[in-house]
Structure 1
């Protein structure tokens, strides 16, 4: 007979227990779930976005009715448990129903602490704890005054959410600076400044004396200096206390919380507890990460496995009112400790590291927390920082003697580096999920739960995706270009052309950019659009390109690089092969690979060796294969009439001509071509961005193929009689693609938007338009086509440049 499990409380900890149980042993228990709230599990961390209007409640529901039904969980929501009888092994509801259990799990969470000020029981005095509280705050608008007592995370999120809805909000905090447990005074100053800029009044070192009312409803908060702060709503956000009343009445061992051992078992072997209601080895818990660890152990205990809960070093990475915050370890002043501090007032960035005995013991970051996981790893592992002290404050991108790219730093992270603190997900787990087919953020989140709780690690998860998938990674689609603007790609491009905007500052100004310097998403797009529309007026900004295009090599998962010299049409010579072999020996290249694009790839080149290996290959007459670029990659060919008895045209010769024509060109995404000498299609021309199939009567040109994560056959564009016509059509369609396509759209995506008939009308049927496109293409090529490897000395200066020019990399 199936054992009966009763769970009291449908919070985030007990919800995670349910997930583990139903995933690992769905038939192990007959489960009944009680919750005092009239609903099931939702992500309480995300109540703040609901308050501010960024999300709807439905978006933060973790388990809906269908989930509970599929899991065969009996739900009794809106029902409180009045009593636990441990002797009879029963629970009694407030309605008098008595239910028996074999195992009981308590997840009653915590209660908000309400300061017992005179007047605290007036209407309009609330905590910030659940959906009902949030709905009360949502009702506050431009005609309302609100006072929030408490300058911690919850209080500030409450204040920011109501201010976003137009309410007049004042925060009252008894301590000298905000969030004193997480931030030092300097970081708190920046946070306070940001709140004031949002129209929120902040009063620190302010002591509340009494809550004043009228007709039973709150009207003002009286401070002990006699100041009255009028309000229609007063929110107390001053902390929480474990909800232990039910457990205490049942005779369980209780201190500050319900006592549990390492298996999450209480003083009764048949009763377990998890979440904010427990006490383990003298500690109580408020962050979600340890709650999820407890849930995993509790599920193992219920299933007879040998799990063990271990308290870990914790960090706090939070987003308050749009400002990123991070703190970890001990950052209090004490004898024998040193500080390393970085301030950038213009960007609102602050970092402080506390050093003791050549180890980092504490860190506080405000405004830019991209490197927080790395710093937390140093604290947790007690890493000796003696050798990196001079560059330590700048983060992992500056270790090893020269500034690196942030994606390189992510690539170099070990597999056990923690990425998602809430769910305890490391880099290796994300890589394994990607290898199993998770190709975007949603799939990784569904598989691993990384970024699924507070969401602050989302950018880091996307960086792991980008490093692992390379060109196959596509940034999530959004209505606007990025968070810097509300305009779409199409809107921005229209403005650039119609208003003749020829510089990034002009675009930022005229298009109303929310930040004055763009971010790592919009800057590469703007750089491309300006380059495509105004090649004579605009100059390419190398620092607005992605890492591979800046390094002129492909970053690999271990932080090394892949170097691919160009082989025109897949043709090489003994001298070129000797040069490649010599370079591989000289720079200890671990892997030499023949690529699918008929070239040779040198894999595992160290970043510091790139300029020198480029110079050696250049000296042998070889140039960059642009295997990293948003531009022409390869032109794959078969041997054609030179050697093949089926060949109808000189496919090799045409492929070489096309590659030398398009070499060095830039496009919205990578561009791959192929020329097959006959319809047998040995060069696989019908799955390339642009493909040419030679036939007896000439050349069939088709576009829109792909052979990556999307597999697509090309669509016929036209058939022409001569090589010259073929080259002109390819030039024209390439130029039209870069003038009209959205940045990071492959040709097939652009073709699906505009239609093949429209493209045919421009590049084939309209001879004058084709000629104009060809002319614009040739003008651009004459200006910008160059071999970046040949300029390795200049490139080295750009790649390893001073700290002040790292805004884009820091964002990435």
Structure 2
């Protein structure tokens, strides 16, 4: 029987914990999720783009209603928990009592309200949730005045968002410069000047005395007598852990809800995570440690060993379009000295703080590209005395020579770590290069360096360049599309490493430049998410090309080609009669036998599609997916059953393969051929995957082409039985699905990753079986006939307009 898990708070930390928990132990818990807001998890970090008008709320939703329903989560949104009864193990809300076996408190933090007269007036808001954001949107009309109290990150984002909507905005900050926790005075000054250039008034060293007004806020009065008019006042002066429920339940509470390394409170049945917790006398507000807590708690709930160990973090932010970075200790003190670089013309400022031969802190404004390098030096406590003269210029000059940008990499010892995600050192990469891995993709395949988050890609390329010299040509970076600076490979790695499971999540987390994406990136993202998260992601029909949306191939006159599937090229008299009847009934102008051993009905009117599908379904036929990025056909010869040269039942194997593989989404179309002997009547040696039957078994070859390019297949492996052949082909298809760039046929992908790598994956029985199992999991979700789905309710079928997503068809 499933354990009853109750979660109080549907924020980002509890949302990430739920993702880990449901993935690791589906069905173990009966989950009830309470939230004071009338909605589920959304990305609070993206409220600023909503405020400025760059995004909508719908675009920042992390878990929608369908996600909760698909995962069996009982949602009690808009229903605040008012009490925890630990003795009876129930939580009390306005809806009554809810029992728990385990309870998670994820109440986050509450905004701090400064105790001044007028703080309760209408028109005074904080900046924590969607309601606050909507209030600012409503007030920030052109000509309106707004005052933001607080010059930290949230306050500045609020100010920039309202200014973008036309309001006249003033920022009041108590301290001497903006963002004093992250920036030193010089960087804070640059930030203030940038804001003022955008029309935002900044008043530092300003103490608020009162908020003036009768029926609502009208102005803000400072201690020095200055008055700023205000149609809206936003208080963004800080947050504190929301601990009232924990306090009332007599749990141990310090500054936050006290938890141990497993995120357990003083009650072994109650856990906590997020901004409300205190661990080892430390509070947490950045996303990275909260996500670490989420992973630890998910493992702890299912009884696995896990321990939360907060690590030193750097702050890398983009405030109102300006890049900022700070790490370590940048306060002044005895024995400390600074290295400072200023370029006022470009708006760049860098400051390094040293004590003796060690780097203690770094602050950067405008150019933060070297932030990770400086942060690593701080964490390691490395002696930087030899780098002192060029340290401020970053790793490109770390060897002391500005003429050689590779000097920094050349100076690294073999044991220096290049790829932190996979623990790959420089020496291992050099060894792989000397062994024949002379490209970035080959390095990824052999060492895994740069194969996860991708942030070390530049370093890996420098090691390649350093080792190979003139023989290495830096590849031209081709981004996925104009909406992003990321490549296809970057996006695929980040989807996996960051656990991104929706198109809005990808666009939000990876910094898409255009709202909603375009005709190039949306289909690619839709495919990558389908391939990586088959059990979590729901196909977005609007992100498919017109042919895939309408389940037929559009022709130049706007009509469509309907292609029923013929398993392995076989048909029956009944099927032929059904095709003939459909051709007559719907006045199909052309009936064509294809090179893939099927029959095309060419020229079907769009409005007739649901009806013709229904008629063909009634005859037992399904969509041939002639329009899809997926399996098209499996071409066969008559094989050993009738042919005197046949060595195996090629027709039977072709039918089995088609029934195994049909309906699977792949990066590009996939065609198979199975020939019963080396005479190759089914032309298996120019297919994406081809099988040649021989006396001893089955030769499986891959990466052929017979379209714009003509290429013969290459032998992948030879197996003895049909069962082995089917497992290898399904596993290889899954390898292609998980690793290829969208719209790349198999021959292009194999040329990129190398046939030897593919052979190695298939030669390992455990790897091959794991790939096969993942393929079958995906098939359990997506192997369904789209004709039957839409033909069942033709009156409700309304294809999306065909004006979009046709560019890459």
What's the TM-score, normalizing by structure 2? 0.55
Tell me, in whole angstroms, the C-alpha distance in 2 between the residues paired with 1:189 and 1:383: 31
Question: Which residue number corresponds to residue 354 of structure 1?
Answer: 353
Q: Do the aligned residues in 1 keep the contact of 2:127 with 2:154 (CA within 8 Å)? A: yes
Q: Do the aligned residues in 2 keep the contact of 1:114 with 1:238 (CA within 8 Å)? A: yes
- Is 1:220 paired with 2:219? yes
Change in 2 beyond 3 A, CA 1:403/1:286? farther
Tell me, in whole angstroms, the C-alpha distance in 2 between the residues paired with 1:406 and 1:81: 58
Q: Do the aligned residues in 2 keep the contact of 1:260 with 1:273 (CA within 8 Å)? A: yes
- Is 1:448 paired with 2:452? no
Tell me, in whole angstroms, the C-alpha distance in 1 between the residues paired with 2:14 and 2:101: 17
Change in 2 beyond 3 A, CA 1:407/1:16? farther
Partner of 2:496, secondary structure, is: helix
Deviations 1:665-698 (A, max 9, x none): xxxxxxxxxxxxxxxxxx999788899xxxxxxx
Quote how far apart the aligned CAs of 1:711 are. Answer: 3.2
Question: Which residue number corresponds to residue 516 of structure 1?
Answer: none
Deviations 1:580-635 (A, max 9, x none): xxxxxxxxxxxxxxxxxxxxxxxxxxxxxxxxxxxxxxxxxxxxxxxxxxxxxxxx
Question: Which residue number corresponds to residue 93 of structure 1?
Answer: 93
Quote how far apart the aligned CAs of 1:427 are. Answer: 5.2
Question: Which residue number corresponds to residue 255 of structure 1?
Answer: 254
- Is 1:286 paired with 2:285? yes
Quote how far apart the aligned CAs of 1:708 are. Answer: 11
Tell me, in whole angstroms, the C-alpha distance in 2 between the residues paired with 1:82 and 1:146: 34
Question: Which residue number corresponds to residue 201 of structure 1?
Answer: 201
Deviations 1:106-152 (A, max 9, x none): 00001000101000000000000000101111121112100000000
Q: Do the aligned residues in 2 keep the contact of 1:300 with 1:306 (CA within 8 Å)? A: yes
Aligned pairs for 1:486-505 (under 5 A) are none
Partner of 1:134, secondary structure, is: helix
Quote how far apart the aligned CAs of 1:444 are. Answer: 2.6
Structure 1 gap ranges (5+): 420-424, 461-471, 477-682, 692-705, 715-751, 756-812
Aligned pairs for 1:584-663 (under 5 A) are none
Deviations 1:736-774 (A, max 9, x none): xxxxxxxxxxxxxxxx9799xxxxxxxxxxxxxxxxxxx
Quote how far apart the aligned CAs of 1:364 are. Answer: 0.3
Aligned pairs for 1:28-47 (under 5 A) are 28-47=28-47
Tell me, in whole angstroms, the C-alpha distance in 2 between the residues paired with 1:332 and 1:273: 33
Match of 1:414 among 412, 418, 423: 418
Tell me, in whole angstroms, the C-alpha distance in 1 between the residues paired with 2:148 and 2:272: 32
Deviations 1:331-364 (A, max 9, x none): 0001111111111111101110111131111010
Change in 2 beyond 3 A, CA 1:431/1:368? closer
Change in 2 beyond 3 A, CA 1:289/1:169? same
Tell me, in whole angstroms, the C-alpha distance in 1 between the residues paired with 2:236 and 2:272: 25
Aligned pairs for 1:336-355 (under 5 A) are 336-355=335-354
Tell me, in whole angstroms, the C-alpha distance in 2 between the residues paired with 1:260 and 1:250: 15
Question: Which residue number corresponds to residue 775 of structure 2?
Answer: none
Change in 2 beyond 3 A, CA 1:88/1:51? same
Tell me, in whole angstroms, the C-alpha distance in 2 between the residues paired with 1:685 and 1:167: 60
Tell me, in whole angstroms, the C-alpha distance in 1 between the residues paired with 2:298 and 2:376: 28
Question: Which residue number corresponds to residue 388 of structure 1?
Answer: 387
Aligned pairs for 1:291-690 (under 5 A) are 291-400=290-399, 401-402=401-402, 414-416=418-420, 429-430=452-453, 439-449=488-498, 458=510
Change in 2 beyond 3 A, CA 1:60/1:221? same
Tell me, in whole angstroms, the C-alpha distance in 1 between the residues paired with 2:222 and 2:278: 35
Q: Do the aligned residues in 2 keep the contact of 1:688 with 1:707 (CA within 8 Å)? A: no
Change in 2 beyond 3 A, CA 1:710/1:200? same
- Is 1:164 paired with 2:167? no
Change in 2 beyond 3 A, CA 1:151/1:426? farther
Tell me, in whole angstroms, the C-alpha distance in 2 between the residues paired with 1:259 and 1:156: 31
Quote how far apart the aligned CAs of 1:234 are. Answer: 0.2
Deviations 1:187-228 (A, max 9, x none): 0111001100110000001111011012x2000000111111
Partner of 2:38, secondary structure, is: coil
Tell me, in whole angstroms, the C-alpha distance in 2 between the residues paired with 1:151 and 1:177: 8
Tell me, in whole angstroms, the C-alpha distance in 2 between the residues paired with 1:62 and 1:101: 25
Partner of 1:430, secondary structure, is: coil
Q: Do the aligned residues in 2 keep the contact of 1:5 with 1:101 (CA within 8 Å)? A: yes
Aligned pairs for 1:715-726 (under 5 A) are none
Q: Do the aligned residues in 2 keep the contact of 1:338 with 1:356 (CA within 8 Å)? A: yes
- Is 1:182 paired with 2:182? yes
Change in 2 beyond 3 A, CA 1:707/1:442? closer
Structure 2 gap ranges (5+): 424-447, 461-479, 481-486, 513-523, 529-702, 712-739, 749-805
Aligned pairs for 1:771-810 (under 5 A) are none
Tell me, in whole angstroms, the C-alpha distance in 1 between the residues paired with 2:451 and 2:111: 38
Aligned residues, how many? Answer: 477
Aligned pairs for 1:692-711 (under 5 A) are 710-711=744-745
Quote how far apart the aligned CAs of 1:385 are. Answer: 1.3
Q: Do the aligned residues in 1 keep the contact of 2:60 with 2:505 (CA within 8 Å)? A: no
Question: Which residue number corresponds to residue 125 of structure 2?
Answer: 126
Tell me, in whole angstroms, the C-alpha distance in 2 between the residues paired with 1:331 and 1:455: 34
Partner of 1:374, secondary structure, is: helix
Question: Which residue number corresponds to residue 500 of structure 1?
Answer: none
Tell me, in whole angstroms, the C-alpha distance in 1 between the residues paired with 2:808 and 2:37: 51
Deviations 1:648-681 (A, max 9, x none): xxxxxxxxxxxxxxxxxxxxxxxxxxxxxxxxxx
Partner of 1:169, secondary structure, is: strand
Partner of 1:265, secondary structure, is: coil
Q: Do the aligned residues in 1 keep the contact of 2:418 with 2:449 (CA within 8 Å)? A: no
What's the TM-score, normalizing by structure 1? 0.55
Tell me, in whole angstroms, the C-alpha distance in 2 between the residues paired with 1:433 and 1:301: 32
Tell me, in whole angstroms, the C-alpha distance in 2 between the residues paired with 1:93 and 1:222: 40
Tell me, in whole angstroms, the C-alpha distance in 2 between the residues paired with 1:754 and 1:414: 37
Between stretches 56-65 and 109-118, larger displacement belongs to 56-65
Change in 2 beyond 3 A, CA 1:70/1:456? closer
Q: Do the aligned residues in 2 keep the contact of 1:433 with 1:448 (CA within 8 Å)? A: no
Q: Do the aligned residues in 1 keep the contact of 2:171 with 2:202 (CA within 8 Å)? A: yes
Tell me, in whole angstroms, the C-alpha distance in 1 between the residues paired with 2:407 and 2:100: 52
Change in 2 beyond 3 A, CA 1:59/1:404? farther
Q: Do the aligned residues in 2 keep the contact of 1:319 with 1:456 (CA within 8 Å)? A: no
Q: Do the aligned residues in 2 keep the contact of 1:105 with 1:272 (CA within 8 Å)? A: yes
Question: Which residue number corresponds to residue 104 of structure 1?
Answer: 103
Q: Do the aligned residues in 2 keep the contact of 1:208 with 1:224 (CA within 8 Å)? A: yes
Tell me, in whole angstroms, the C-alpha distance in 2 between the residues paired with 1:450 and 1:191: 33
Tell me, in whole angstroms, the C-alpha distance in 1 between the residues paired with 2:296 and 2:705: 55
Quote how far apart the aligned CAs of 1:89 are. Answer: 0.7
Q: Do the aligned residues in 2 keep the contact of 1:687 with 1:707 (CA within 8 Å)? A: no
Tell me, in whole angstroms, the C-alpha distance in 2 between the residues paired with 1:42 and 1:77: 13
RMSD of the TM alignment (CA)? 3.8
